[in-house]
Amino acid sequence: MSAPVTIQRLDASRIGPAVDLVRNSFDARLLPYMIYGQSGVERYIESAQPRVGVAGGREGWVALDSGAVVGYAEFDLARLPTAHLAYVCVASSHRGDGLARRMIERFAAECAAAMTLSLDVFDGNTAAKGLYDRLGLSAEGAAAEWIVRPLPAPEARPLLVEELPQSLAVHSVFGFSSLRIHHGDRLVTVGRLGEAILRTSSPAEFFDDDLLAALRAVFPTLREALLVTTEAGRAGWLQTQTQTQTQTQTQTLTRSTRLSGSIGSELRGGSC
């Protein structure tokens, strides 16, 4: 008789297998647009683990079968009392065994400061949606589109980038980073994912050819911009823009929906 699958906190020795499990669980097309597709994510996960006396961080839980990682759940604690379930995945050999729920229950039982849980679920993931419905989570709003566009040709323009050396250093370690840029009368934040992807935070940056051309001149390996936004948000912004901007070629990679709900006694009393 085999030993039962156990649930425990992520430790440094299991970060590599947990990262491999995440990478194998997601559509390979999406990995370049996610932090788990970047070269230094293992070091990032290790550095982001909660520290005594320091608020925030990311808390990981693993499901172990004879010492092998067969499930992983990662919670972002930056906005407590809301904990955000950033990733949850289970090895194909153990799907249907209730491990995702057990990892969420174990986290809820251990983290008394978490009063609500949020997460994003991709369209088409019916098994996950069924679990989250049973946990009492519901949609916060409209589904978000993950859209990409090619960057315009590089064009050197004056850019004021805050703390650029620090951003470059972070990128060299983790493979992703953020940039705070003064552009005209705006302060905008964008992210670099690997060497080719630029993540933007709003349609204003995503469709701003001047900004994107200037950033590509600074980082010549950039090829695409990514934006995660609702269809209504994108359409509303485009109505106010020029014909050139509305003709920008975009592609929808996938769609996701933000769910949330309270962490009740049923979850806190779950099996470990």
d(CA 62, CA 171) in angstroms, rounded, equals 27
Same domain, 107 and 180: no
pLDDT at 238: 59
Same domain, 128 and 165: no
> Where do runs of H (alpha helix) occur along 139-238?
164-174, 203-206, 209-218, 231-238
d(CA 75, CA 138) in angstroms, rounded, equals 18
At position 198, the amino acid (one-letter code) is L
Structural tokens at position 225: 């911009």
Tell me how far CA of residue 108 lies from CA of 33, 194, 232, 266, in angstroms: 29, 33, 34, 10
Same domain, 133 and 191: no
CB 89 within 8 A of CB 74: no
CB 194 within 8 A of CB 175: yes
Structural tokens at position 116: 């609500």
pLDDT at 104: 96
Q: Which residues of the chain have pLDDT under 50?
A: 1, 270-272
pLDDT at 272: 39
Residue 171, domain member (yes or no): yes
End-to-end CA distance of the chain: 20
How many alpha carbons lie under 13 Å from residue 121 in its C-beta half-sphere?
20
Structural tokens at position 5: 């699958």
Residue 263: closest CA among 77, 103, 137, 87: 137
Same domain, 87 and 20: yes
Same domain, 151 and 244: yes
How many alpha carbons lie under 13 Å from residue 270 in its C-beta half-sphere?
22
Residue 130: CATH number of its domain: 3.40.630.30
Place of tokens 């788990």: 36
Same domain, 121 and 163: no
Structural tokens at position 136: 């009492």
Give the residue numbers spanning the domain of 82.
6-138+260-268
Same domain, 49 and 89: yes
Same domain, 55 and 169: no
Q: Are strands 6-9 and 138-139 parallel, antiparallel or unpaired?
A: unpaired
Residue 17, domain member (yes or no): yes
Residue 199, domain member (yes or no): yes
pLDDT at 165: 96
Say how many domains are in the chain. 2
pLDDT at 271: 44
Same domain, 105 and 151: no
Same domain, 71 and 154: no
Residues 121, 125, 128, 134: is their CA dihedral positive or negative? positive
d(CA 221, CA 219) in angstroms, rounded, equals 6
Same domain, 119 and 156: no
Same domain, 50 and 130: yes
Residue 1, domain member (yes or no): no
pLDDT at 240: 57
Residue 141: closest CA among 206, 232, 76: 232
Residue 118: closest CA among 15, 257, 236: 257
